[in-house]
Amino acid sequence: MSKVYEALKRAQQQGLGIQVDIPGELDGAEVFTAAPEASVREESPGVAARQEDPELRTIAMVVPPGSVALPWKGAVDLAASEQYRIIRTRIVQHPKRPKMLLITSAKSGDGKTVSAINIAGALALRDNANVLLIDADFRHKGLCEMLGLPGGLGLANLLDGSCALQEAIIRVEQYPNLYVLPAGVRGINPAELLDSEVWDSACAIIREHFDFVVLDVPPIASVADYELIQAKCDGVIVVIRPDHTDRTLCMRALELVPREKMMGVVLNCAYQWFLCRTHESYVYGQGAQAK
Ligand SMILES: Nc1ncnc2c1ncn2[C@@H]1O[C@H](COP(=O)(O)OP(=O)(O)OP(=O)(O)O)[C@@H](O)[C@H]1O
Ligand SMILES: [Mg+2]
């Protein structure tokens, strides 16, 4: 029986409220095997042999044409994909070895979801690095739509006990190392869902079985759920969009991120000339045409 199932079973036995439906015959341990830290060889998406795991939904994503998600697939954007690889390297080589990364911004529409998808995608290109991308923005859950994946069961259902982790996670067919946990369908307030022992134990289990966890979350301090998610993360990456992010809001938001968790900013929709001028920030160069 795989480690993740054992962990889920333990959580259930401890009465933490995670609903677990453990099949008698299951061997999916390889799916959640931790990767060596130093491995940086990239696999082409879809090329590597996949371990079959009938217990997880494996679904092919259908990224709409012209999308800025995953710029190394379909309409390849060399400049953007290179910038995401730089971000990846900075994350992987960060001295604090962050595992759970929260992608946020000062306000709606700055590019949190695009950045979370692309950072998770870049991390998942590494050989043997299992990456879980979580849509933890219950109010603006656009992540699955952007990837052309069905939403359905997800984090909210895991937290309210209406499904198990293995029922909610989607394996992305084209990306051997990428797993997605949709936001799910919620009946109660997200803050109540997250202010629970189930969230605590779910984080512990996820940490144990994935090399990186990337969370798409609401804007900084906008809602109570934000704080509850931030409390569990190792690092915060703030997305700034020069033509969109309000300067005052942005400065206030940056001050609210605990210093020890602040990893840096992603400058989304940066002009090409800015990319040539500076190497100080994490930059996503989409070029002037994307403005
Ligand atoms: N670099 C980019 N180039 C072109 N379009 C972009 C870029 N980044 C984001 N967008 C577009 O801007 C819109 C908002 O992006 P996104 O959904 O990622 O923002 P968000 O911060 O997650 O918003 P929300 O707070 O509503 O969830 C989307 O239509 C997205 O396709
Ligand atoms: Mg979003």
Structural domain boundaries, residue 128: 56-267
The per-residue pLDDT of the chain, averaged, comes to 80
Q: How many domains does the chain have?
A: 1
In a domain, 31, yes or no: no
In a domain, 67, yes or no: yes
CA distance 117 to 175: 12
**Ligand 1 within 6 A of CB of 269:** yes
In a domain, 134, yes or no: yes
In a domain, 120, yes or no: yes
**Ligand 1 within 6 A of CB of 64:** no
In a domain, 14, yes or no: no
- Residue from 114, 249, 286 to probe ligand 1 pocket by mutation (most atoms less than 8 Å from CB): 114
Contact 169, 115 (CB under 8 A): no
In a domain, 289, yes or no: no
**Ligand 1 within 6 A of CB of 290:** yes
pLDDT digits (tens, 9 = 90+) for 68-100: 999 986 667 888 899 999 999 999 999 999 999
* The two structure tokens encoding residue 249: 């809001």
Give the DSSP H/E element, type plus range, for residue 214: strand 212-216
What is the DSSP code (8-state) at residue 174? Answer: T
Name the residue with the closest Cα to ligand 1, atom 27: 140
pLDDT digits (tens, 9 = 90+) for 238-250: 999 988 998 999 9
Q: Is the pLDDT of residue 283 over 50?
A: no
Lowest mean pLDDT among 11-25, 93-107, 167-181: 11-25
Lowest mean pLDDT among 122-131, 145-154, 228-237, 273-282: 273-282
pTM of the model: 0.82
The pLDDT, as a whole number, for residue 37 is 31
Residue 197 — left, alpha, or beta (φ > 0 → left; ψ -120 to 50 → alpha)? alpha
Task: Tally the residues of the chain.
Answer: 291
For 41, 44, 125, 132, the CA distances from 47, given in Å and listed in that order, are: 13, 5, 11, 19
Q: Is the pLDDT of residue 287 over 60?
A: no
In a domain, 256, yes or no: yes
Cα of 146 from ligand 1 centre, angstroms = 10
CA-based end-to-end distance of the chain: 50
The CATH number of residue 119's host domain is 3.40.50.300
The pLDDT, as a whole number, for residue 11 is 55
In a domain, 224, yes or no: yes
